[in-house]
């Protein structure tokens, strides 16, 4: 074997390796037109969920903005805006137990007295003429949320604290009042606690009406199943009050979980929800179209089909119809990133009906900003595997970002169209990628075989030369 043959084999192997890791800019598979609704030097574009579905990267690294000549237009991602700290505020509420049952005329005797001092309301426990109710056999509670200024946000939840039992489910009716005399209905709901294998599942929140009210009357539908309440907090969700870039809500239907390469036997009764793309999720909520449903569940998520499911958290979702009023559980606030969400019901609660169960997620979808440079119209490209990140830092792209943001123009993204030439090339690259390791191994094995043959030939050459020499003459 000649040295040039060895060099040819090595060059062929190097070429195959280099083709597998080419440095050329990948061609995106998908293109969507940008419609400018309000022109300005810098234009803001809110990306829809379909952008995540078309992207080949969970962080949208393959996103590109181009003009009519396909010239690159620089862009940057914009962080979601908020005007306050992202934490909930709590204020302890004062609780007064109700008597075991209402008076003969159906009205509840009040366990407190109120007096007015100008615009201030003073609340004190009922006079000694009426014996106080025992919390252990209380039919409910009068809740004093306390005085609040007109500029203070209205509490959205009343979070109950209890000492037991470990498992219970208790329905309630809720009424609101400003003076403890006139009461108006504020719906109802369910609080519960379950001791599940993956950890306790609790639903301690009572949804409050949007109208401001100081007093609440919470009445248990069945006193025997009620928890032992030891306190309560009025909760103000500051993030909901001040969010300027609201999350986008998506509602998807689920399908029964099936075996895959990572899990031969999925949990019984589990449903899988495909969000279409890897989304940054803010809240989760199970929804039921009608009837009464109680669903203690564990939530799991993953970005790719070959990944193992990871636990996201647990919650109790419900929909309860009572006396013509429907109450539902509050959404579960849980920041996570996932393409698929699996809902695993507690085995004691039974399976979920795929046809009657939907998952509503609020996702904080990305926004981008780009300058009006180049030749309109503009387009967004996506769907290029292994594409390098193209986005600039927002402060680099936009001078005086905080000031300029108020003057951004607005744009929307149109329908996605597939680039047939790019699709054919990507499909060919995928086929080549599947065959390239086999070809590489074939070339390497052939090279090793040729090298072994060359060594064998060199080893035999001296022996052959010795056999062909003339015999020595006799003495």
Domain boundary residue, one of 295, 328, 363:
363
Q: Is the pTM of this model over 0.95?
A: no
Question: Two tokens at 467?
Answer: 């056999």
pLDDT of residue 246: 83
- The pLDDT of residue 19 is above 50: no
Residue at 254 is within a domain: yes
Span 115-134, mean pLDDT? 51
Higher pLDDT: 244 or 37? It is 37
Q: What CATH number does the domain containing 326 carry?
A: 2.60.120
255 and 374 fall within a common domain? no
122 and 149 fall within a common domain? yes
Confidence band (pLDDT; 50, 70, 90) for 404?
Answer: very high
62 and 102 fall within a common domain? no
pLDDT of residue 306: 87
335 and 375 fall within a common domain? no
Domain boundary residue, one of 241, 271, 300:
241
pLDDT of residue 99: 79
Count of beta carbons in the 10 Å neighbourhood of residue 206: 24
Higher pLDDT: 423 or 256? It is 256
Higher pLDDT: 145 or 137? It is 145
258 and 355 fall within a common domain? yes
121 and 237 fall within a common domain? yes
Residue at 206 is within a domain: yes
Residue at 425 is within a domain: no
CB 275 within 8 A of CB 250: yes
Residue 36, φ and ψ in degrees, nearest 5? -80, 115
Residues 421/423/424/430 CA torsion (nearest 10 deg): 150
Q: What CATH number does the domain containing 180 carry?
A: 2.60.120.260
pLDDT of residue 129: 38
Q: Of the candidates 426, 339, 360, which has an alpha carbon nearest to the alpha carbon of residue 387?
A: 426
Span 414-442, mean pLDDT? 71
The domain of 70 spans 30-80+366-418
63 and 99 fall within a common domain? no
Residue at 459 is within a domain: no
390 and 370 fall within a common domain? yes
Question: For 13-17, 114-118, 180-184, 308-312, which range has the lowest pLDDT when averaged over its residues?
Answer: 13-17
| CA–CA dist 121, 115 (Å, integer) | 6
- Secondary structure letter of residue 259 according to DSSP: -
- Average pLDDT across the chain, whole number: 82
Q: Write the burial class of residue 400 (CB in 10 Å: 0-12 exposed, 13-18 middle, 19+ buried).
A: exposed
How many domains are contained in the chain?
3
- pLDDT digit string (tens) for 146-182? 887 777 788 888 999 998 898 999 999 999 998 888 8
| CA–CA dist 123, 144 (Å, integer) | 9
Residue at 469 is within a domain: no
Residue at 130 is within a domain: yes
pLDDT of residue 317: 94
234 and 272 fall within a common domain? no
343 and 253 fall within a common domain? yes
192 and 96 fall within a common domain? yes
Domain boundary residue, one of 189, 223, 241:
241
pLDDT of residue 370: 98
370 and 342 fall within a common domain? no
Confidence band (pLDDT; 50, 70, 90) for 131?
Answer: very low
- The pLDDT of residue 57 is above 80: yes
Q: Of the candidates 139, 65, 64, 134, which has an alpha carbon nearest to the alpha carbon of residue 100?
A: 139
- pLDDT digit string (tens) for 61-118? 999 999 999 999 999 999 887 655 556 788 899 898 887 777 666 677 777 665 555 4
CB 161 within 8 A of CB 229: yes
Question: Two tokens at 283?
Answer: 């809240």
Span 354-383, mean pLDDT? 95
Percentage with pLDDT > 70 across the chain? 78
């Amino acid at each position: 074997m000649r040295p040039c043959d060895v060099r040819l084999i090595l060059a062929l192997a190097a070429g195959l390796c280099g083709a597998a890791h080419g440095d050329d800019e990948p061609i995106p598979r998908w293109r969507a037109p940008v419609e400018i609704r309000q022109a300005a030097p810098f234009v803001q574009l809110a990306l829809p969920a379909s952008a995540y579905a078309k992207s080949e990267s969970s962080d949208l690294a393959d996103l590109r903005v181009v003009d009519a000549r396909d010239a690159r237009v620089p862009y940057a991602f914009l962080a979601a805006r908020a005007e306050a700290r992202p934490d909930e505020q709590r204020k302890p509420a004062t609780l007064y137990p109700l008597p075991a049952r209402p008076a003969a005329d159906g009205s509840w005797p009040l366990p407190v007295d109120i007096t007015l001092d100008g615009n201030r309301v003073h609340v004190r426990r009922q006079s000694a003429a009426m014996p106080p109710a025992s919390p252990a056999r209380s039919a409910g509670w009068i809740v004093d949320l306390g005085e609040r200024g007109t500029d203070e946000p209205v509490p959205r939840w009343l979070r109950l604290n209890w000492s037991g039992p470990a498992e219970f489910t208790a329905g309630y009716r809720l009424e609101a009042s400003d003076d403890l005399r006139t009461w108006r209905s504020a719906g109802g709901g369910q609080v519960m606690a379950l001791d599940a294998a993956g950890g306790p599942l609790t639903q301690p929140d009572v949804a409050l009406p949007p109208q401001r009210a100081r007093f609440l009357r919470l009445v248990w539908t069945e006193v025997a199943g009620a928890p032992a309440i030891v306190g309560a907090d009025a909760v103000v969700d500051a993030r909901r009050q001040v969010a300027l870039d609201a999350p986008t809500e998506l509602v998807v239907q689920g399908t029964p979980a099936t075996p895959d390469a990572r899990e031969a036997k999925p949990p019984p009764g589990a449903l899988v929800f495909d969000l279409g793309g890897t989304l940054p999720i803010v809240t989760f909520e199970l929804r039921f179209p009608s009837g009464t449903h109680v669903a203690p569940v564990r939530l799991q998520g993953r970005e790719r089909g070959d990944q193992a499911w990871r636990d996201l958290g647990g919650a109790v979702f419900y929909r309860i119809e009572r006396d013509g009023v429907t109450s539902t559980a509050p959404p579960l606030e849980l920041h996570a990133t996932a393409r698929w969400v699996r809902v695993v019901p507690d085995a004691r609660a039974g399976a979920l009906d795929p046809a009657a169960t939907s998952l509503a997620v609020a996702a904080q979808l990305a926004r981008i900003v780009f300058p009006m440079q180049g030749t309109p119209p503009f387009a967004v490209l996506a769907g290029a595997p292994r594409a390098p990140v193209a986005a600039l830092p927002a402060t680099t792209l936009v001078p005086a970002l905080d000031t300029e943001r108020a003057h951004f123009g607005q744009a929307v993204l149109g329908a996605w169209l597939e680039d047939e030439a790019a699709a054919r090339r990507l499909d060919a690259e995928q086929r080549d990628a599947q065959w390239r390791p086999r070809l590489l191994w074939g070339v390497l094995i052939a090279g090793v075989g040729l090298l072994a043959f060359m060594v064998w030939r060199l080893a035999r050459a001296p022996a052959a030369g010795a056999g062909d020499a003339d015999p020595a003459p006799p003495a």
